[in-house]
Structure formats: C-alpha cells, structure tokens
Amino acid sequence: MPRMIYWNVQHFSEDKFFIRKRKRKLDEDEAWGEDPAQKYLNVLFNAITANAPDFIVIVEARPGGNTGEGTLLSDDGAMRLLRYLRNKSSAQWALVPPVISGLGNAGEGIAVYFRRTATLYFTGPWRWPGGAGPAAPGVGAGVYPSQYRNAFSRPVDNRTVPNGNNLYNAGQMERRLAGQWRYFVGGGGGGGGGAGPAPAPISFGGAGTRSPFRTTFYDSAAGQNYTILACHAAPGQNAAAPATAPSTLATQAIGNLHEVQNIGANETIVVVGDFNVSLFVAAATAVAYAPFTAAHYTKVIDTVGGAALPAGYPARGYLSTHIVPINNATPSNARGYPAFGYMSELDAHGQYDSIDNAFVRNSVVANATIANLVTGAPYTAVMPVPAGMPPGTLTYASALGNPASLNSPNGYDPNGTTFPDETALFRDVDNYARVYGVSDHIALVFDF
C-alpha cells in the first residue's frame, strides 16, 4: 500500500523556508542573525520524510508573480524543496509541476511529490502544451520551462508511460504531462467540445475560488491506478447557516465531480485537503460529505467503529487538525491532552478545528495518524484513549525545543501563580512558535 503525508503548510514559499532571516529586535533575548527559514525547513523536512511516504502533498503554495489560472507557480519554493528532498532523503523524489488555482488573493498552488520508482509513473491526466501553459486536456504534449526542467528527474530522461491497466496517456512522455485544475459537468475539463459556446467551468464555493488539483499515477507492478484530488476549499464557514456556507458548498461540489463519482477499473481515488468544514458541525458535514458517503468513500479522520462524535474535550483533541496563533496558545490543562490550550475551537471566525481530512475509494485505509508536532504522535500518553477516539499509529516526535514547556500529558494549571512564565516559555521561538511558524495546520498521514 502506498503512504501519503498531506499538509496544509501555511504560506509555503521559497522565502519562508529557504531565504527569510529575522531582523534584529530590541529585545536582548532575541538571537542576532538567527535564521528561522532553516529552523522551519528542518521541522518540515523531518515531518514529511518520517515513516517513508510515497506521496507528499503540500497545500497553500504561494504563486509568486504569476497570476493566471493553470499557469505554473513562479515562486521557486516547490522546486527548492524537491532539490532538498533529493539531496537529503532520496534521489527518487519527483514533483508534479504545480499550477495556480483561484483568482486574486485566493490564487495559490498545490505541490504533489512522489517517489518516482522503476514502476510508479505519473500519468497526468492532462498534458503540458509547452511554454507558460496553461495545462489542458488532449493537447499536444510540450516541455516545461527551465524552472521545472528537472521536476521529474535529474538528469532529464524521456521515460514513457506504459500500457497495461493504465488509464491515462499510455505511450506519452512522462515529463510532458500535467495535472488537472479545471472541471466541467460530465467530466473532461475541456468544456465538452460540442456545438455552441463552451459551458462555464464548475466553481467551488463562489467565483474565483480554488479548484482541486487532480494528479494520476500508475503502478505497473501492481497494475493499479492512483488518482489524487488535492484541495484547499473556500474558507468561509457562515456559522449562522453552515449548510450553505462557501466551504460547505465547495466540498459538496468536489464530491459531486464526475471525476470523483466515477471510478475506473483498477483505480484508487484519494480526495484530500483542507476543506474548511468542521467535522463537529453536523449541519455542514451532512451537506459537504454527502457525495462521498453516497459513493462509498472511507473518511480517514473519523471516530472508531461508528462511535458518535465527541461533544467536548479532551476527546475532540484526538480529531483536530488546526492550531491557534502564537499569542493565543497556552499549555493550560483545562481541556486536557492532547488539545491543552493550543488547538483551535469555536471562535469569532468560525469552527476551524477538525477541518482537514481525506476520503478514499476502492482501497482499505491503514495507519491513519494525525502527525502532531506539538505533543508528538501517536496519542498514547494518556491511557485508556477516550472511547471511540483514534490515537493514530505512526510515530512523530514533538518539535518543541524544550518538551517541559508543555509538560505533556499533564499541562499546567491556568490558575497557578507561575502560569504566565510557563506560557511565555511555551510560546518561545524554539518551542510552540517554531511549530506554528511552519503551519497552523497539523499533517495527516495514511496508507491506502
């Protein structure tokens, strides 16, 4: 079974992980010339390479200067991380060149990395037309510009996609293929091609919002196709009417896609991402998740054995994937392990707590783990685990420089006289601030 780590890495960019340095501050405790980019990169790299994944999916990649949908990210963060992975982890790592989805401030990309072994091929499903793009279905396949020349291999090779049970682009050169970023009713992504004007593409929660990035792969040894739809849905939750919120309607639209509802022979489909729909808001999930339920997808973050969703903490912490800003985070024991005072819950902005998830069709899900870099994973420090809660299986170390700053699994008394000092230590640049500096989301890992 292949293994995936998915992570919404907040504002993923070259600047954040490869360039940025913090300027000197007046506080004498601040280190002079400290390089937070390298610290963030260390945390990111250690997490995404732990437990030997076959796929790495990073959501929220900054587009750089480019703005056109379907065109390549000009920011070099995705390629620099690829080079780092090849140098520090494995030369097999490859990258599907990421393209922009969404208009204006909503525009961003999704980076899909895969272990390009002798038997695992990228198959599209689209082709790159050459030059600046955008990617399109059924066009003559061209080469990528120099920035992405080595995305599939270094040195460049001309490997072609095999036949067998493969569903897409057999006989085409792998490095001339592309992911899909646009969708129409009935599938295809090209607008139908019939007489009359082309139909408008499907929108996901409103005009100008982001669409899923669909990438396809073929394992020639197993004769199996793998389709990944990676998503960063519209953020609006509309607490007053969650069933019609932009995030709810966006996730519902993703689930209703022809490419999600219809599955090919020898194909496994994974829909993964930040859906901005709280697992704990039944009015939203009843609408957003309904298409996945109807098509018999397995929900990866869920209670065990059909148990009811928890009404409060500490149980809710076992399902949450979002954390609060540094100045709001505390090591308080009020909500217990593993949430303490740093996991998100209902606030003025909405219920952004358990908002990342994955749905898998035509495969068994195994080893699902929320890779929490604050407490570490799996969640086995307090036994027994609350009834019906998934502790996870795979091991991920805490990235806190000083584990005593959280005092897990006990936390600290918020009414204690030393709590302000304990909170300040927890928020320190080498403790919680380091983890939050990488992302306000927690990664999800699973086999499929």
Read off the DSSP letter of residue 164: T
In angstroms, how far is CA 354 from the centroid of its own chain?
13
- Alpha-carbon dihedral sign for residues 52, 58, 64, 68: positive
Q: What is the CA angle 405-408-409, rounded to 5?
A: 160
In this predicted model, what pLDDT tens digit does every residue of 187-210 receive, in sequence order? 877 644 444 456 789 999 998 999
Name the residue among 286, 202, 201, 280 with its Cα closest to residue 243: 286
Reported as a single tens digit per residue, the pLDDT across 64-111 is: 988 899 999 999 999 999 999 999 999 999 999 999 999 998 999 999
How many angstroms separate the CA atoms of 159 and 149, rounded?
A: 14
CA dist 313 and 319 (Å) reads 10
From 108-112, 136-140, 329-333, 406-410, the region with the lowest mean pLDDT: 136-140
Separation between Cα atoms, residue 292 and residue 370, nearest integer Å: 21
Say yes or no: domain 3-447 is CATH 2.70.70.10: no
**Residue 199 is which amino acid?**
P
Q: What is the pLDDT of residues 369-413, one digit of tens each?
A: 999 999 999 999 999 999 999 999 999 999 999 999 999 999 999
Give the C-alpha separation, 308 to 411, whole Å: 27
- pLDDT score of 139: 82
CB neighbours of 137 closer than 8 A, spacing ≥ 6? Answer: 125, 126, 127, 180, 188, 189, 190
Q: Is the pTM of this model over 0.85?
A: yes
DSSP 340: T
Domain range annotation of the chain: 3-447
Which residues, other chains included, contact 25 with Cβ-Cβ below 8 Å and sequence gap of 6+?
none
- Which residues have CB under 8 Å from 95's CB, separation 6+? 78, 79, 82, 111, 112, 113, 148, 151, 152
Q: How far apart are CA 363 and CA 343, in angstroms?
A: 31
Which two tokens mark 177? Answer: 């293929």
- Count Cβ atoms below 10 Å from residue 220 Cβ, excluding itself: 17
